[in-house]
Amino acid sequence: MPGTTVPTEDELKEALSTLRAENPTLGIPKLHALLSSTHPDWSVSEKRTRKVVQSAGLTVAPPGGSSASRTAYPKSSVIKDLDIAKWTTKVEVRNFGKEKGKGLVAKEEIGEGDVIWKEDPWVIGPEWEIYDLQRNGRACAFCTTPLNIDSRLIVNCPDSTSASFCPGRFCSRLCLQRSAVVHPLLCPSKNPASAPLLAFARSYQWMALQALAHCTAKILLANQQDEKVLENDWKLFSSFAELGMEDRMRDLRETSAGEEFDKAAWKKAHQLIVHAFKEPPLEANKKKLAKILKKPLPDDIDTKLFDYDATLHNLGRMSLNLESHGGLYTLHSHLNHSCAPNVSVRHLDQRSALARITVIARQTILPGQELTISYVNPELPLPARRRRLGDWGFGKCTCERCLKEEKELQEKEGEMTEKEREEKRQEDELAKELKEGLGVV
Ligand SMILES: [Zn+2]
Ligand SMILES: [Zn+2]
Ligand SMILES: [Zn+2]
């Protein structure tokens, strides 16, 4: 007996999103049957289910993800109670299911060239060029904006003394105040134990490690403030999509042979994180750190920040979510990939707030359409784009452009003569044997 309650469009969408997330490959009739059994009081026709599934973009991904069984996909989770309205009213978060995770869709028509939102980073992990300017006191140690040396507003790090120097300088008092959420733990004067960690990240040009140092500092300092701040920061940090470095490296070995991966470097990075924020090896530095961190972290968060395995996962999480100029942005991190993206990200406020991003529509975006950026250089040809995405742990991209180019490629191969095909087969065979002989497969 079907139920009698007619759910609203939103209720139905929500229920179907959840079911789709748990059952990524079910066809619509089966999904409908599942809906009837999980919501026995509802009266919903299969036709209505189909309509909502299609309009909400919950249809099964096109076949062709043959690598899906092997490739690790990033895991992401939707942030509960995220107040998007503080950035924009034009988009909403949608859960596309287990494999694809979360994404952003337009709630209204967005015109070509429109600014969709502006966003300041949750954590800044600047590019090395800017990082070096900061370390020379020539860019703000908080917001990264290059300093106008003549400005009277500039303030030095108050903890810098001739005995223990910090090169940090800030645009203004405001930036200094804001920097209280991270700087104390990364300041070479206030927490000297952080210096070897940052120097190591710098020497390897390891952006993810630098960003993780910033995140760790931010979370530890949030804990010193109060529970609410910690809860909020932890919720944001743990919702960034993640992929463990081990997963990523395993895939790297399978996708692009010969890529170096360096366990020793991960071990060292982990040890330096522990030294910087938990157990400085020098007694004097231990005392300095204890002055900043008076309250211990809750055990579960402590484990998820300082365990070796957790560190690898967190590094993977940084790599996946860093904006191309460095920095982690809450809303921006929701954007999925397309090789023909419909939005672009710019740093327009170069003089006042360099780290602030502006997200702009590259074309008209209709209500219900997903907003996308490109994770790889879109100028690259199809095989190279796929390889890059594979390196990052993403499955085979099946965006419209990829499908079109794939078809063209197949047609071209179809036009080859018998002789050309045989030559190509022999070449492929030889390449395979060579690889095997070198032990790179
Ligand atoms: Zn500043
Ligand atoms: Zn300082
Ligand atoms: Zn694509």
- Whole-number Å distance, alpha carbon 81 to ligand 2 midpoint, is 34
Q: What is the pLDDT of residues 360-377, one digit of tens each?
A: 999 999 999 999 998 888
Ligand nearest the Cα atom of residue 158: 2
The residue among 423 and 109 whose pLDDT is bigger is 109
Using a CB cutoff of 5 Å, list residues around ligand 3, an ion.
339, 397, 399, 402
Q: Residue 120 CB: number of other CB atoms within 10 A?
A: 16
Q: What is the pLDDT of residues 309-355, one digit of tens each?
A: 899 889 888 888 888 888 899 999 899 889 999 999 998 877 777 78
Determine which of 43-52, 111-120, 388-397 has the lowest per-residue pLDDT on average: 388-397
Two tokens at 138?
């020539």
Q: C-alpha distances in angstroms, 383 versus 341, 379, 396, 398, 409? A: 18, 12, 10, 12, 10
- Whole-number Å distance, alpha carbon 184 to ligand 2 midpoint, is 6
The confidence score (pLDDT) of residue 436 equals 60
The confidence score (pLDDT) of residue 342 equals 95
Ligand nearest the Cα atom of residue 182: 2
Average pLDDT over residues 405-423: 77
407 Cβ contact list (under 8 Å, min separation 6) = none
Ligand nearest the Cα atom of residue 354: 1
CB 32 within 8 A of CB 64: no
- Whole-number Å distance, alpha carbon 128 to ligand 1 midpoint, is 17
- Whole-number Å distance, alpha carbon 179 to ligand 2 midpoint, is 10
Instruction: Determine what percent of the chain is predicted with pLDDT higher than 90.
Output: 44
Confidence of residue 66 (pLDDT cuts 50, 70, 90): very low
- Whole-number Å distance, alpha carbon 380 to ligand 3 midpoint, is 11
Q: Which residues pair with 92 in a beta bridge?
A: 105
Using a CB cutoff of 5 Å, list residues around ligand 1, an ion.
140, 142-143, 171, 175
